[in-house]
Structure 1
């Protein structure tokens, strides 16, 4: 998908109007209400067929380790050009990209029989970042060019879909270097929210280009006040994450690890001179750990990080750009061990990958050992389980009649 199409993100949750659907399955008493967990799991696979006016189909499955499922005569149709998804408080949110305008958002959960039912619809503005914080969802609308430089932050109750707080940030003032800050994502770290950002020109010509390709920034905000406390800076690699891509995760020890592809550009040419790497922020601190630097580009033989997904116990699934030293090439998958600073290419995965769900829409297995991702190839599309210790991929359910855009799960 084009970068511009991804702006919607979780805009949805800036819910301004809500209304219940009228189907029988939505009547009181038939639904879990969100947040209920009786031990049963239903997987949600979203798949796009490429048909005009249809973004995706929502498919459900009890077992994703085998078999097949199809969009033909099956699933819940999602209208529009593009849809984005998030699961919070046992609710599944489907967000329509509004092309800069407010877009419809549909909330689903499971009834007692495990059937996916429509819970509510509402309208919201388009935003560029969303993340779960406690029982809330934090969304951020970030201007990329023009006179406007104020990023709007919305704190939303994920159970009620109601805005409970707002804040603003002047992105030009935050950058402080003649450019503007553009948040790549936001991550809860302890009781605070850490927001990595890239410095961009925002000049209307080369909006996402920069004159500052070799620096890393993370803005630290209090929560729920959303007050800026400080900016953590480093110059050993480039910005963390990417446009619409998370690049900061907290592990079980409370430490935070940031992932940089070192692919900052100017006029579409990569100008980063520092390596693609992982940096660390120790628990209880708001500084980068100068004793830790995981040079992934060196360990991989010259490849750069495209996206990442934390598994557990220091294991991370990496999607790498396929052409060494660039931000181009068919995706390659690898497992990184953050604690031992080792890099292992994934085996048994498809040799030619069209695209995956590693960027944002994937799961971790119940035992925490593996990442569960959708992998699309010219030969077909499957859900794979990738073990974080062995780096071995295992093929699961095949999705026919559409390409996999997300995988999620709900309890009932």
Structure 2
């Protein structure tokens, strides 16, 4: 081999090695878990990817991650375990449990369950609820999935037609542990015919209070200053450091369960229950629509020191299931709101993840921003300056959830 051929061969080999290295999917082991739905023509399962930081780096679904079983998955962490909940769409659900070992997710349990519409950590359990939407069969079932034994330890039922006493079903938007009780905000639905999620009672908020673990109904808290709390599959309650509980209403009640028949006369608002009280604080009402210039809250994440990162929509984009892409900071103590700067233009944002993360340090919240270009990034939101910084790049799919495990 002459010298020129040797140099050419050497460069060719180096180029092949370089191409292989460039094409190799990045690996980013760490304590953060990001759920990503790969881009596909038909429904596909999520991949769970780990990352060492949300502020920098790149993660990818290409030859990486833990593929989930089933198309629709939702996530919660408790007792240093990640619980992946399968929504079976009429079929049985599942609870798959992971822990973290040296930056890798390790599956430790997989239990077949009912498909549930609400779940939350309560004591050492994940409380699950399969909620009736049929007025002729108003039985809502609850299950206590123990995070130590990794099985259902106790279960029972609730007659959700009896909660309202108005001929409509109570449908829990979510559940939350407050003190040693379970608070279950709900909306009223007809549960029949073509208007299953419609209501004739759009201008009231309810919270059912249960003992735990007995799940005995102790009280129903009512307020007629707003429409119902939260949204379908969306947590609208948050307990702050001082024990006060805040609740948001999206103002999306409707006569027939669709955006064309909105029938609430109340604005999207925030209300409060003072620490240790089981009545709404009548001295506190935050009209979010007036404060924000006509927006309605679709979701929020608490960051600490009375501040929330709030996702919202314009009146034109408001819908029963439409998630917001306008990001702002809401201080529920000072009743102030400020839009976040530094994010992509609204026209460039396809969606924002609904399950987001904060260390609740009073400084930062992290949200997944999916762009119309197909790219996705985790953005750090500085709640004290209402600014954002682009962080971890997510390649190969849509960001749906951000979790953290020790």
- Asked whether the two chains share a fold, i.e. TM above 0.5, the reply is yes
Query: 2: distance between equivalents of 1:85 and 1:73?
Result: 22
Contact 1:323–1:329 at 8 Å: present in 2 too? no
Query: 2: distance between equivalents of 1:247 and 1:163?
Result: 26
Aligned 1:225-374 pairs, distance under 5 A: 225-267=214-256, 268=258, 269-323=261-315, 326-327=318-319, 331-352=325-346, 353-357=349-353, 359=354, 361-365=355-359, 367-374=361-368
Deviations 1:240-266 (A, max 9, x none): 001000001100000100100111011
| 1:381 aligns with one of 376, 386, 392 | 376
Contact 2:291–2:337 at 8 Å: present in 1 too? yes
Q: Which moved more, 1:257-266 or 1:143-152?
A: 143-152
Alpha-carbon spacing, 1:155–1:106, altered in 2? closer, same or farther (3 Å) = closer
Query: 1: distance between equivalents of 2:317 and 2:34?
Result: 33
SS at match of 1:311: strand
Q: Aligned residue for 1:64?
A: 54
Q: Which moved more, 1:137-146 or 1:232-241?
A: 137-146
Deviations 1:134-181 (A, max 9, x none): 221111111112521011111221122222222321111101111110
SS at match of 1:333: strand
Query: 1: distance between equivalents of 2:285 and 2:246?
Result: 10
Q: Aligned residue for 2:190?
A: 201
Residue 402 in structure 1 maps to residue 397 in structure 2:
yes
Residue 98 in structure 1 maps to residue 88 in structure 2:
yes
Contact 2:135–2:168 at 8 Å: present in 1 too? no
Contact 1:330–1:354 at 8 Å: present in 2 too? no
Contact 1:55–1:82 at 8 Å: present in 2 too? yes
Q: CA deviation at 1:206?
A: 0.9
The structure that is helix-richer by fraction is: 2
Contact 1:218–1:231 at 8 Å: present in 2 too? yes
- How many residues of Structure 1 are paired with residues of Structure 2 in the alignment? 369
Q: CA deviation at 1:325?
A: 8.4
Alpha-carbon spacing, 1:341–1:325, altered in 2? closer, same or farther (3 Å) = farther
Alpha-carbon spacing, 1:61–1:366, altered in 2? closer, same or farther (3 Å) = farther
Contact 1:96–1:105 at 8 Å: present in 2 too? yes
Q: Which moved more, 1:116-125 or 1:182-191?
A: 116-125
Greater RCO, 1 or 2 (C-alpha within 8 Å, sep 6+): 1
Q: CA deviation at 1:74?
A: 1.4
Q: CA deviation at 1:324?
A: 5.4
Alpha-carbon spacing, 1:229–1:338, altered in 2? closer, same or farther (3 Å) = same
Contact 1:365–1:372 at 8 Å: present in 2 too? no
Over the aligned positions, Cα root-mean-square deviation in angstroms equals 1.8
Q: Aligned residue for 1:151?
A: 140
Q: Aligned residue for 1:73?
A: 63
Alpha-carbon spacing, 1:294–1:159, altered in 2? closer, same or farther (3 Å) = same
Structure 2 unmatched ranges of 5 or more: 1-28
Q: Which moved more, 1:45-54 or 1:334-343?
A: 45-54
Contact 1:127–1:139 at 8 Å: present in 2 too? yes
Structure 1 unmatched ranges of 5 or more: 1-39
Alpha-carbon spacing, 1:367–1:146, altered in 2? closer, same or farther (3 Å) = closer
Q: CA deviation at 1:350?
A: 1.9
Contact 1:146–1:204 at 8 Å: present in 2 too? no
Q: CA deviation at 1:41?
A: 5.7
Q: Aligned residue for 1:190?
A: 179
Q: CA deviation at 1:365?
A: 3.1
Q: Aligned residue for 2:5?
A: none
Query: 2: distance between equivalents of 1:277 and 1:321?
Result: 13
Alpha-carbon spacing, 1:105–1:220, altered in 2? closer, same or farther (3 Å) = closer
Runs (4+) of structure 1 exceeding 6 A deviation are: none
Query: 2: distance between equivalents of 1:303 and 1:279?
Result: 16
Q: Which moved more, 1:177-186 or 1:55-64?
A: 55-64
Contact 2:301–2:358 at 8 Å: present in 1 too? no
Contact 1:53–1:79 at 8 Å: present in 2 too? no
Contact 2:97–2:109 at 8 Å: present in 1 too? yes
Query: 2: distance between equivalents of 1:385 and 1:49?
Result: 23
